[in-house]
Structure 1
Amino acid sequence: MVTTTSNLYSQKKSVQAVKTSQPIVIDGKLDESIWQEALPASDFIMFEPDNGQREFNDRKTEVKILYSDNSIYIGAILYDNPNLINKEITQRDRFGVSDHFGVFINGFNDGQQDFRFFVSASGVQMDCLATENNEDFSWDAIWDSKVQITDYGWVVEMEIPFAALRFSKEDSQTWGLNILREIRRDRQKFTWSFIDRNIGNVINQAGVLTGIENIKPPTRLFFIPYTSGYVESSATNTISTAKVGMDIKYGINDSFTLDAILVPDFGQAAFDNVVLNLGPFEQQFNENRPFFTEGTDLFSKGDLLYSRRIGGPPSTYPATNEGEQVVEYPNTVNLLNAVKISGRTDDGLGIGFLNAITEKTTARVLNTQNNESRNVVVEPLSNYNILVFDQRFNKNSSVSFINTNVTRVGDFRDANVSAVIFDINTSGNKYNVSGDLKMSSIYDAENSNGFSGYFNVAKTFGKSRYGIATKYVSEQFDINDLGINFVTNYHNIYAYYNYRILNPTKRYNSFRVNTDYYIEIENTTGKLQEHWLKANINSTTLKNDYIGYNLLISPVQTFNFYESRVSGRVLAIPENVYANIFFSSNYNRKFALDIEPNIRIFKQENRINYNFFVSPRYRFNDRLTLIYSANYNRQNSDIGWVDFMNDDIILAERNRSTFTNSLTGKYAINDKMTLNLTSRHYFSFAENIKFHTLLEDGSFEENQNYTTDKDVNFNLWNFDLSYSWWFAPGSQITALYRNNAQDFTNDINKNYGSNVSNLFETNLNHVFSISLRYFIDYNKAKNWIKKA
Structure 2
Amino acid sequence: MHNNFIFCVLLLFFSKILFGQATLPIKNVKKNIKAEKKTSIISIDGQLDEDDWSKALPAKNFFTFSPDNGNPETKELRTEVKILYDDDAVYIGALLYDNEPTKILKEIKERDNFGTSDSFGVFINGYNDGQQDFQFYVTAANGQADCNFTSQDGEDYSWNAIWSSKAKITDIGWVVEMKIPYAALRFPRKDIQTWGINFFREIRRTRQKYTWSPVYNNTGAFSQQAGILTGIQNIKPPTRLFLIPYTSAYINSNKEATETTLKGGLDIKYGINDAFTLDAILIPDFGQTKFDNVELNLGPFEQQFNENRPFFTEGTDLFNKGNLLYTRRIGAKPLFYPELHDDETIEKYPTTTNLLNAVKVSGRNNDGLGIGFLNAITEETSVTIKNNSDGTTRSEVASPLTNYNVTVFDQRFNQNSSVTFINTNVTRNGDFRDANVTGLVFDLNTKKNTYNLSGKANLSNTFDTKNTNGIESSLSIGETSGKYRYGIGGEYVSKDFDKNDLGIIFQNNYYSYFCNASYRILAPTKKFNSFNIGLYTYMEYNNNTNEIQQNNFSLDVNTTSKGNHYFGFGYRIKPFERYDYYEPRKDGEFLILPKLQSYWLSFSSNYNYKLALDFQVSNLFYDQKDRSDLDITISPRYRFNDKFSLIYSINPYIQKNNIGFVDYLSNSGETIIAQRDRNTINNSLTSKFSINSQMNFNLSVRHYWSIAENNAFFALQDNGRLVEKLDYTENKDSNFSTWNLDLSYSWWFAPGSQATVLYRNNAAIYSNDIDRNFKNNFDTLFTDNLNHAFSISIRYFIDYNQAKNWVKKG
Taking structure 2 as the reference length, what is the TM-score of the superposition?
0.96
Counterpart of 1:323? Answer: 343
Pairing 1:53–2:71 present: yes
Alignment of 1:748-767 (within 5 A): 748-767=770-789
User: Which residue of 591, 610, 634 corresponds with 1:614?
Assistant: 634
Partner of 2:541: 521
Contact 1:492/1:520 (<8 A) preserved: yes
What is the 5 A alignment of 1:420-499?
420-499=440-519
**Number of the residue aligned with 2:801:** 779
What letter is aligned with 2:673?
A: L
Counterpart AA for 2:777? N
Q: State which of 276, 287, 290 in structure 1 corresponds to 2:310.
A: 290
- The answer for the alignment partner of 2:186 in structure 1 is 166
1:484-633 aligned within 5 A: 484-633=504-653
Matches within 5 A, 1:28-107: 28-80=46-98, 81-107=100-126
CA-CA distance at 1:315 after TM superposition = 1.4
One-letter code of the match for 1:69? Answer: D
Amino acid at match of 1:312: A
Q: Which residue of 684, 701, 726 maps to 1:662?
A: 684
**C-alpha distance in structure 1 between counterparts of 2:375 and 2:279, whole Å:** 11
Cα distance, 1:94 vs. partner?
0.5
1:81-101 per-residue CA deviation (whole Å, 9 max, x = no partner) reads: 210100000010001000000
Do 1:516 and 1:534's aligned partners in 2 also have CA atoms closer than 8 Å? yes
Tell me the distance in 2 between the aligned counterparts of 1:701 and 1:11. Answer: 69
Using the alignment, how far apart are the partners of 1:762 and 1:682 within structure 2?
18
Equivalent residues, number = 782
1:4 match:
none
**What is the rounded CA distance, in whole Å, between the counterparts of 2:86 and 2:27 in structure 1?**
31
User: Deviations for 1:197-234, whole angstroms, at most 9, x for unmatched residues?
Assistant: 00121110111111111101221100000000000110
Match of 1:11 in 2: 29
1:647 aligns with 2:669: yes
Q: Decide which of 277, 295, 314 is 1:257's aligned counterpart.
A: 277
Structure 2 CA distance, aligned partners of 1:318 and 1:422? 41
CA distances 1:441-482 after superposition (whole Å, capped 9, x unpaired): 000000000011111111011100001011111111100000
Between the aligned partners of 1:287 and 1:382, the Cα distance in structure 2 is: 20
Give the drift of 1:10.
4.1
Q: Is the 8 A contact 1:8 1:194 kept in 2?
A: no
Q: Is the 8 A contact 2:29 2:214 kept in 1?
A: no
What is the alpha-carbon distance in structure 2 between the residues aligned to residue 478 and residue 283 of structure 1?
A: 17
Superposed displacement of residue 506, structure 1: 1.0
Aligned to 2:11: none
| Aligned-residue offset at 1:39 | 0.5
Give the deviation of 1:576 after TM superposition. 0.2
Deviation for aligned residue 1:9: 5.3
3-state SS of paired residue (1:139): coil
The CA distance in 2 between the partners of 1:757 and 1:322, in whole Å, is 37
What SS does structure 1 have at the residue aligned with 2:515? strand
- What is the CA-CA distance between 1:762 and the residue it aligns to? 2.4
| Range with bigger deviation, 390-399 or 754-763 | 754-763
1:120 aligned to which of 131, 136, 139: 139
Separation in 2, partners of 1:606, 1:566: 28
1:689 to 705, 711, 716: 711
In structure 1, distance between residues paired with 2:213 and 2:356: 47
The answer as to whether partners of 2:26 and 2:218 remain within 8 angstroms in 1 is no
Secondary structure in 2 matching 1:299: coil
**Residues in 2 aligned to 1:683 and 1:21: alpha-carbon distance in whole angstroms:** 64
Aligned to 1:193: 213
| Structure 2: gaps of 5 or more residues | 1-24
Maintained 8 Å contact 1:534/1:551:
yes
Please give the alpha-carbon distance, in whole angstroms, between the structure 1 residues aligned to 2:575 and 2:228.
Answer: 52
Provide the residue aligned with 2:14 in structure 1.
Answer: none
How many Å apart are 1:194 and its aligned residue? 0.5
Residue in structure 1 matched with residue 294 of structure 2 by the alignment: 274
Please report how far the alpha carbon of residue 375 of structure 1 lies from its aligned counterpart in structure 2 after TM superposition: 0.9
Partner of 1:247: 267
Further displaced range: 298-307 or 757-766: 757-766
1:248-290 per-residue CA deviation (whole Å, 9 max, x = no partner) reads: 0000011110000111000000000000000011100000000
SS at match of 2:496: coil
- Partners of 1:171 and 1:558 in 2: how far apart? 64
Give, in whole Å, the separation in 2 of the partners of 1:669 and 1:768.
Answer: 22
Partner of 2:367 in structure 1? 347
Q: Could you tell me how far apart the structure 1 residues matched to 2:537 and 2:130 are?
A: 32
- 1-side partners of 2:456 and 2:633: how far apart? 37
Equivalent position SS for 1:263: coil
Deviation at 1:701, TM superposition (A): 1.0
Where does residue 700 of structure 2 map in the other structure?
678
Report if aligned partners of 1:185, 1:588 keep a CA contact under 8 Å in 2.
yes
Q: What CA deviation, in whole Å up to 9, does each residue of 1:507-557 have, x standing for no partner?
A: 110000011010001100111010110110000001100001011100010
What amino acid sits opposite 2:182 in the alignment? F
Q: Is the 8 A contact 2:53 2:82 kept in 1?
A: yes
Question: Is 2:374–2:407's contact at 8 Å kept on the other side of the alignment?
Answer: yes
Task: Give, in whole Å, the separation in 2 of the partners of 1:9 and 1:302.
Answer: 32
Partner AA of 2:717 in structure 1: L
Runs of at least 5 residues in structure 1 that lack an aligned partner in the other structure: 1-6
Could you say what secondary structure the match of 1:298 adopts?
Answer: coil
Tell me by how many angstroms 1:22 deviates: 1.5
- Structure 2 counterpart of 1:706, which letter? Y
Deviation at residue 21 of structure 1 after TM alignment: 3.0
Distance 1:255 1:90 in 2: 32
Match of 1:22 in 2: 40
Matched, 1:365 2:385: yes
Q: For residues 566 and 788 of structure 2, what CA distance do their matches in structure 1 show? A: 40
- Give the match for residue 164 of structure 2: 144
How big is the shift at 1:697?
Answer: 1.1
Structure 2 CA distance, aligned partners of 1:731 and 1:468? 48
1 CA distance for matches of 2:73 and 2:807? 51
Question: Deviations along 1:364-410, whole A, 9 cap, x unmatched?
Answer: 11111111111110111100000000000000100010000000010
Match 1:742 to one of 761, 764, 767: 764
Q: Decide whether the 8 Å contact of 2:360 with 2:374 is kept in 1.
A: yes
- Distance in 2 between the 1:262 and 1:570 partners? 48
Show CA shifts across 1:114-159 (max 9, x none): 1000010000000000112321101110000001110000000000
- Aligned equivalent of 2:406: 386
Asked if the contact 1:356/1:385 (under 8 Å) is kept, the reply is yes
Measure, in 2, the Cα distance between the counterparts of 1:762 and 1:409: 39
Contact 2:28 2:225 in 1 (8 A): no
Query: Contact 2:187/2:237 (CA < 8 Å) preserved in 1?
Result: no
User: What is the aligned partner in structure 1 of residue 9 from structure 2?
Assistant: none
Question: Which SS does the other structure have where 2:362 is aligned?
Answer: strand
1:202 is aligned to 2:222: yes
CA distance in 1, matches of 2:421, 2:597: 40
Partners of 1:573 and 1:213 in 2: how far apart? 67
> What amino acid is the match of 2:228?
V
Q: Which residue of 1 aligns with 2:330?
A: 310
Cα distance in 2 for residues equivalent to 1:291 and 1:659: 33
- The equivalent residue for 2:148 is 129
| 2:249–2:791 contact (8 Å) kept in structure 1 | yes
C-alpha distance in structure 1 between counterparts of 2:262 and 2:37, whole Å: 48
Partner SS, residue 399 of structure 1: strand
Partners in 2 of 1:61 and 1:9 — Cα distance?
22
**Distance apart, 1:8 and its partner CA:** 12
Letter in 2 for 1:91: E
What letter corresponds to residue 777 of structure 1 in structure 2?
A: D
User: What amino acid is the match of 2:62?
Assistant: F
Tell me the equivalent position of 1:235. Answer: 255
